[in-house]
Amino acid sequence: MSGGELDPAQHGLGDMDPEDLRAHGHRVVDWIADYLAGVGERPVLAQVAPGEVRDRLPEAPPDEPEPFEAALADLDDILLPGITHWNHPAFHAYFSITGSGPGILGEALAAALNVNGMLWRTSPSATELEETVVDWLRQLLGLPGDLRGVIVDTASVATMVALAAARERADLDVRQRGLAGRPDLPLLRIYTSEEAHSSVEKAAITLGLGRDGVRTVGTDEQRRMDPTALGAAIREDVRFGYRPIAIVATIGTTSTTAVDPVPAIAEVRDELVEELGHDLWLHVDGAYGAMAAIDPELRWVLDGAEHADSLVTNPHKWLFTPIDCSVLLLRDVEVLTRAFSLVPEYLSTDDGEVTDYMNWGVQLGRRFRALKLWLVIRYFGRHGLQERIHHHVEQARHVVAWVEKHPELVLMAPAPLSTVCFRAEPDWVPDAATGEDDDPRARAHDECNRRWLDRVNASGEAFLSHTDLDGRFTVRLALGSLHTTDERLERTLSVLDRELAALRP
Amino acid sequence: MSGGELDPAQHGLGDMDPEDLRAHGHRVVDWIADYLAGVGERPVLAQVAPGEVRDRLPEAPPDEPEPFEAALADLDDILLPGITHWNHPAFHAYFSITGSGPGILGEALAAALNVNGMLWRTSPSATELEETVVDWLRQLLGLPGDLRGVIVDTASVATMVALAAARERADLDVRQRGLAGRPDLPLLRIYTSEEAHSSVEKAAITLGLGRDGVRTVGTDEQRRMDPTALGAAIREDVRFGYRPIAIVATIGTTSTTAVDPVPAIAEVRDELVEELGHDLWLHVDGAYGAMAAIDPELRWVLDGAEHADSLVTNPHKWLFTPIDCSVLLLRDVEVLTRAFSLVPEYLSTDDGEVTDYMNWGVQLGRRFRALKLWLVIRYFGRHGLQERIHHHVEQARHVVAWVEKHPELVLMAPAPLSTVCFRAEPDWVPDAATGEDDDPRARAHDECNRRWLDRVNASGEAFLSHTDLDGRFTVRLALGSLHTTDERLERTLSVLDRELAALRP
């Protein structure tokens, strides 16, 4: 374009031509189908050394366009060896998740539409499908109809946003005046169990409450929050001048999947609200565990959740949706939008009674995550989801039975959902040298389990992670992937057996 | 599975079969190619009434699985009429973006891999490709090599994270002690121009600084931050006991794409650091505008940015990457990880000298966004990106020339990048009734422009948004989409002409 003349041809200044996109797209779909058909034969945990992948990538971007095929070839040659395969049937680390077929296709469609659902008008279907699909999820979980929902990226953000709403509802004028340099403000506190996810503490740091703004409450022998200790902690804090603003209960802790007793916690909250004469927000972190409630046999995990002010659960964890997709359900939407709403003129609209999701949180840009969740729920249906979740819990029971039957293994925690914590405590492990530790035998077992886990993961045949329970190194085996057949799980248990036996002197 | 027996068949409890995924995937790719080939003929702005889409969606989730084809059919029938088409050649609202072919395919691949790049070991390739590709972007922008980068979802989060790092570097022990109930703390302040994005204020609210924690600084006649006013504001605040912690400069404001004078701002910052004897973080919000620097002719937009502590720019805005993808570059990574790092035992690894990106911000879960950005940069190459960005700026110059030649239009602000602000001020508009306003003529023109914009957007032939400049309703036309051919832009200008003429009495 020169001299004000417009050239109707784009001179190659456009996007990939739709016919090229079609051709490359078919190749990509075949790649994906082949990948998923064969991923089970790859090493689960990437077997590369730090820097190995980076060293094979050019240090500088290419000056000229490269054929799409070249990038696909590099995906195979350079990147795949450094991928830890989360969609692998023997991925049992952290939480076992699935980027399912309908979810993958949903991501591709969302990227093609590329809408930003910040306002209703910037894509009414994005907003209204989101409203619909989060309500479907609410129904699947058996939660009350006065909860409304929003999709965010992660539970960390959902919990932060919920706690920001709690902070706003404390009527301390935080939105306007902030927290710093205000002698009128007390110390603010959030209460959660010592088993809670680090996102609670991270939210407290971000929100300006600091790590001191979180008081952790003790748990019972099953690692569930102790409601009596919760009440005592809050009352003690109040005597010392703290202002309690929120309680975070967990449905399915990350370490052992413990389920906090939400009915009793809600009762303590209600008593305290009466006593203190001010609000106390109850947030439920069900990022992983809440999905269990889709199975009627496990609906008990959400007992009491109807008393919560907010609840987060992640379809990208146990609902077969590619990351990221986290749903925050809450009752008092007004306080959330009061906390976050800032509408500059260039975004002001006259649409009146519509939902503008940009006012529900920190992020202005919002991709069309509802689409993949909608496709997943439709493709599997309520019963399909229910059966799959049920099956994962049965698989976990099978692992528990295997552990209990195994002469050298010890179950380290109850396994109410789909994750099992255990460790090897074989007789044949020689005592560790006596040291500062008062239990050289336990220390020797720690080392044995560490070596066992390293061997299993290095084999590439399965990937498990660990946790620490009362100072003891503990192996975690998480179920929840649609790719984990019973047969493959059997094979993984054999690998565990084999690698433990290999440690025997 | 019952009685502890494992059934090798999955009884339909798995994912979509890879061969079904292949078949559905090919259908989806054809849908995407057809959609992108034909999107230009659809109405850009959705022409539905509030609730219209929702009313056509079932209130409850399906009990039984539904064929994938049924969902695809509903995408066409129910959702598409309610989609505002951001990938449309006549989408000129907000910022004009592109979910490009390579980017779309990258999203599909990332969803199939479904890795969570929270730790290096949870997918070394995800971490090392991210390190590589953000460094490629740094090089494309001509920024110094001591900046390191991370991909987050949105600029709102990137700015919040950068300001959290600034707050941490103020050495007030905020991470541990928070901000509330601390008589030792002064009021904290962030400085930005009155034209800055609302995300700065939102970050201040979230971080517990409050709206009062942001002081906006005046601008010159081109709506660029006034560095002298900045220095004066900070010095005044310090006299009143405030503690300044950060300055946010903008490269390409959202309203008029003004470019703050970063060299002069950095100079003021340096003087103040010397004067005050403490740190003052300089963050550059180049969410949209920084990408212009890829074109050597426009490299000047990042003059001075080498003095910034951090800079955010969004490949999902002007680098043809599907949302979401926002890159934060910063120098002092140590302070960022000091602010956010919390490593629970179940995530502890012994990988030593590797990057664990979960410690770089709020979110623990991190999808594999680097993949699409890598594919986009490789597919277009440095020169291809450069030419396209250059072309968008030329298109904007063409629109400026059209406005300036037009007897009824007035250019409302300089258009240094790819967005043009203008309004109609035709003689034939009758005066508004005299009212509280002191300028009934300007008010009449406001109403004329509002009606003009509504007509254009209702036509479905183009979608523009507006801003407010000194109280005057102003139309914005944003370029930046790979789909906007010069020919199509001509057609849009004709639509603007036609709809303005239609208002003539």
Residues 289-318 on A with a CB inside 8 Å of B are 314, 316
In tens, the pLDDT along A467-477 reads 999 999 999 99
Look at residue A355 and tell me if it is in a domain: yes
Question: What CA–CA distance (Å, rounded) separates B151 from B100?
Answer: 18
Relative to beta strand A472-478, strand A419-424 is: antiparallel
Quick one: which of A95, A33, A86 has its CA closest to A392? A95
Q: Of A394, A359, A389, A387, whose CA–CA distance to A122 is shortest?
A: A359
CA angle (A470, A475, A477) in 5-degree steps = 130
Domain check: are A392 and A333 in the same one?
no
How many helices and strands (H and E) does chain B possess?
15, 12
* Shared domain check, B353 and B385: no
DSSP secondary structure, B435-460, as one string: -SSS-HHHHHHHHHHHHHHHHHHHHT
Test A398 with B45 for CB contact under 8 angstroms: no
**CA A137, CA A328: separation in Å to the nearest integer?**
11
φ and ψ of A111, to 5 deg: -70, -35
Residue A370 pLDDT exceeds 90: yes
User: Is A100 within the bounds of a domain?
Assistant: no
Beta B419-424 vs B472-478: how paired, if at all? antiparallel
- Please name the residues between 368 and 397 in chain B that touch chain A, using a CB distance below 8 Å: 371-372, 374-375, 377-384, 387-388, 391, 394-395
Rg of chain A's alpha carbons, rounded to an integer? 25
State whether A13 and B388 contact (CB < 8 Å).
yes
From the list B209, B255, B482, the residue facing A178 with the nearest CB is: B209
d(CA B52, CA B59): 13
- B337 and B118 in contact (C-beta within 8 Å)? no
**Residues A155-212: pLDDT tens digits?**
999 999 999 999 999 999 999 999 999 999 999 999 999 999 999 999 999 999 999 9
For B21, nearest residue in chain A (alpha carbons):
A101
Provide the pLDDT for residue B391: 98
Q: In a 3-state reduction of DSSP, which class is residue A446?
A: helix
Q: Residues 203 to 232 of B: which have CB under 8 A from any A CB? A: 203-213
Contacts A257 to B, Cβ<8 Å: none
| Cβ–Cβ gap A382/B179 under 8 Å | no
Instruction: Collect all residues with Cβ–Cβ distance below 8 Å to A129 and sequence separation of at least 6.
Output: A370, A371, A374, B53, B57, B79
Evaluate whether residue A11 is within a structural domain: no
| pLDDT grade for A352, boundaries at 50, 70 and 90 | low
Which of A325, A348, A367 is the last residue in one of the domains?
A: A367
Give the nearest partner residue to B50 out of A19, A353, A398, using CB atoms: A353
Which of B16, B153, B174 is facing A379, going by the closest CB pair? Answer: B16
Burial (CB count <10 Å: 0-12, 13-18, 19+), residue B293: buried
**How near does any CA of chain B get to the CA of A243, in Å?**
10
Residue B5: DSSP 8-state = B
Is the residue at B246 inside a domain?
yes
Task: In whole angstroms, give the CA distance from residue A465 to residue B73.
Answer: 42
B437: CATH:
3.90.1150.170
The percent of residues in chain A predicted with pLDDT above 90, rounded, is: 92
Residue B8 is predicted with a pLDDT of 37
Q: What is the pLDDT of residue B6?
A: 40
Tokens of B330: 């910063």
Contacts with B82 from chain A: Cβ below 8 Å: 123-125, 128
- Strand boundaries in B208-360, DSSP class E: 214-217, 243-250, 281-285, 310-313, 326-330
Measured CA to CA, the distance from residue B181 to residue A244 in angstroms comes to 13
User: Rounded distance, CA A476 to CA B117, Å?
Assistant: 20
- Please say whether the beta carbons of B172 and B185 come within 8 A: yes
**DSSP E strands, A279-358:** 281-285, 310-313, 326-330
Measure in Å the smallest separation between the Cα of B382 and chain A Cα atoms. 4
Question: Cβ separation of A14 and B482 shorter than 8 Å?
Answer: yes
Beta-bridged to residue B476, according to DSSP, are B421, B465
Which pLDDT score is estimated for A1?
38
Cα radius of gyration (chain B): 25
Based on the structure, what is the number of domains in chain A?
Answer: 2
Q: Count CA within 13 A, CB hemisphere, residue A430.
A: 6
The answer to whether B143 faces chain A, any CB pair under 8 Å, is no
pTM score = 0.96
The verdict on residue A373 lying in a domain is no
The answer to whether residue B62 sits within a structural domain is no
Contacts of B97 in chain A (CB under 8 A): 114, 116
Distance CA B398, CA B389 (A): 14
Q: How far apart are CA B500 and CA B472, in angstroms?
A: 18
Q: Are residues B402 and B444 part of one domain?
A: yes
- Contact residues, chain B, for A258 at CB < 8 Å: none
- CA angle B249/A367/B17 to nearest 5° reads 145
Give the domain CATH number at B157: 3.40.640.10
A214 and A359: one domain? Answer: yes
Pair A305, A412 in one domain: no
Query: Cis bond leading into A270, ω under 30°?
Result: no
Distance CA A30, CA B22 (A): 6
| Residues B323, A468: C-beta atoms closer than 8 Å | no
Q: Cβ–Cβ of B398/A87 closer than 8 Å?
A: no
Unique residue bearing structure tokens 């975070």: A248
Residue B483: list chain A partners with CB under 8 A.
14-15
Cα dihedral across residues B399, B402, B408, B414: positive or negative: positive
Residue B52 lies inside a defined structural domain of this protein: no
Beta bridge partners of A420: A477
Q: What DSSP character marks residue B14?
A: S
Q: Do B367 and A323 touch (CB under 8 A)?
A: yes
Is residue A400 domain-shared with residue A276, that is, in the same domain? no
The percent helix, strand, coil of chain B (3-state, each to 5) is: 50, 15, 40
Above 80 in pLDDT, residue A383? Answer: yes
Put simply, the answer to whether B486 touches A1 (Cβ < 8 Å) is yes
Helices (H), A43-154: 52-56, 68-74, 101-113, 124-140
3-state helix, strand, coil in chain A (%, to 5): 50, 15, 40
Residue of A nearest to B74 (CA): A375
Q: Is there a contact between A176 and B212 if contact means CB atoms under 8 Å apart?
A: yes
The predicted structure's pLDDT at residue B3: 37
Residues of B in contact with A365 (CB under 8 A): 153-156, 314, 316, 323-324, 326
CA distance A105 to A111: 10
Angle at alpha carbon of residue B304, lines to B298 and B309, rounded to 5°: 120
Which pLDDT belongs to residue A439?
85
Domain that holds residue B412: 378-501
Verify whether the Cβ–Cβ distance B365 to A79 is below 8 Å.
no
Final residue belonging to a domain, choices B311, B336, B367? B367
- CB-CB under 8 Å, B123 with A483: no
Residues B308, B161 share a domain: yes
User: Does B124 contact A84 at a Cβ distance shorter than 8 Å?
Assistant: yes
Same-domain pairing of A209 and A320: yes
Please list every residue in chain A whose beta carbon sits closer than 8 Å to the beta carbon of residue B9.
Answer: 485
Residue A46: phi and psi, rounded to 5, are -55, 135
Instruction: Kindly state whether A47 is in contact with chain B, defined as any CB-CB distance less than 8 angstroms.
Output: no
Query: To 5 degrees, how large is the angle CA B325–CA B480–CA B361?
Result: 15
- pLDDT tens digits for range B147-156: 999 999 999 9
Please give the Cα distance from A125 to B76 (Å, whole number).
11
The parts of chain B modelled with pLDDT lower than 50 are 1-9
Orientation of helix B101-113 relative to helix A18-38, angle to 10°:
10
Same domain, A436 and A361: no
Q: Tell me if chain A has a CB within 8 Å of the CB of B8.
A: yes
Give the per-residue pLDDT at A4: 38
A302/A385 same-domain check: no
So what's the pLDDT on residue B431?
Answer: 81
Which residues of A, range 397-416, sit inside 8 Å of B by Cβ? 398, 401
Alpha carbon separation from B331 to A252, B126, B134, B145 (Å, rounded):
38, 21, 13, 9
**B464 in reach of chain A (CB within 8 A):** no
Nearest 10 degrees: Cα torsion A131, B91, A110, A13? -170
| Residue B372 located in a structural domain | no
> Parallel, antiparallel, or unpaired for β A463-469 and A91-92?
parallel
Of A35 and B438, more confident: A35
Residue B228 makes CB contacts below 8 A (sequence gap 6+) with B268
Task: Tell me whether residues A107 and B110 touch, CB distance under 8 A.
Answer: yes
Test B115 with A339 for CB contact under 8 angstroms.
no
Q: Mark whether A138 and A216 lie in a shared domain.
A: yes
Which among B17, B102, B111 has the least Cβ separation from residue A107? Answer: B111
Sort out which chain B residues have CB atoms less than 8 A from A199's CB and list them: 364
List the single best residue of B141, B216, B346 to mutate versus A (max A Cβ within 10 A). Answer: B346
Cβ contact B358:B88 at 8 Å: no
Which DSSP string corresponds to B15-75?
A: SSPHHHHHHHHHHHHHHHHHHHHHGGGS-SS----TTHHHHHS-SS--SS---HHHHHHHI
A window 48-77, beta carbon within 8 A of B: 48, 50-54, 57, 59-66, 68, 70-71, 75
The reply to whether residue A30 touches residue B45, judged by beta carbons under 8 angstroms, is no
Half-sphere exposure of A494 (CA within 13 A, CB side): 7
**ipTM here:** 0.96
Question: Searching chain B, which residue's CA lies closest to the CA of residue A180?
Answer: B179
Rounded distance between C-alpha atoms, residue B309 and residue A209, angstroms: 25
Do A354 and A408 reside in the same domain of the chain?
A: no
Q: What is the pLDDT of residue B349?
A: 62
Domain boundary among the residues B317, B345, B367 is at B367
- Chain A residues touching B179 at Cβ < 8 A: 178-180, 208-210
Taking an 8 Å cut-off on Cβ atoms, the answer to whether A33 and B18 are in contact is yes
**Which of B413, B278, B332 shows the shortest CA–CA distance to B149?**
B332
Q: Is A347 exposed, middle or buried (0-12, 13-18, 19+ CB in 10 A)?
A: buried
